Amino acid sequence: MLFGIARDIIGGSALTLEMEEKTTVDSLMAHLQQTYPDFERLASLMIAVNSDYAKGDRVLQENDEIALIPPVSGG
């Protein structure tokens, strides 16, 4: 799921990727930053899995809900 500037960078509200088995949050992040260099210019970029901020070594599962979280700015 894509929100805010992440949606603008990718150009859509969702992104479908073919991932290898045992892909981690870190490897997904590396792939995204390589494919979309604009992500490296952001103040931060987090990945959330099933509505929680995920650590880099977390292995992604097939039915996980994955969201890119660019710098938040509520309030």
Partner 1 sequence: MNFKITDQTINEQEVLELARSENCGGLSVFVGTVRNQTKGKKVVRLEFEAYETMALKKMQEIAEQAKERWNTDKIAIYHRVGVLGIGETAVVIAVSTPHRKESFEACEFLIDTLKQVVPIWKKEVYEDGEIWVAAHP
Cβ-in-10-Å burial (0-12, 13-18, 19+) of 25 comes to: buried
CA angle 54, 36, 69 (to 5 degrees): 30
Instruction: Pick between residue 15 and residue 42 the one whose CB is nearest to partner 1.
Output: 42
Q: How far is the CB of 70 from partner 1 (least distance, A)?
A: 6
Residue 14 CA to residue 66 CA, distance in Å, equals 10
Instruction: Pick between residue 16 and residue 51 the one whose CB is nearest to partner 1.
Output: 51
The residue written with tokens 């088995």 in the block is 21
Instruction: Pick between residue 20 and residue 75 the one whose CB is nearest to partner 1.
Output: 75
Q: How far is the CB of 46 from partner 1 (least distance, A)?
A: 9
Residues interacting with partner 1, by CB under 8 A?
Answer: 1, 3-5, 8, 41-43, 48, 51-53, 67, 69-75
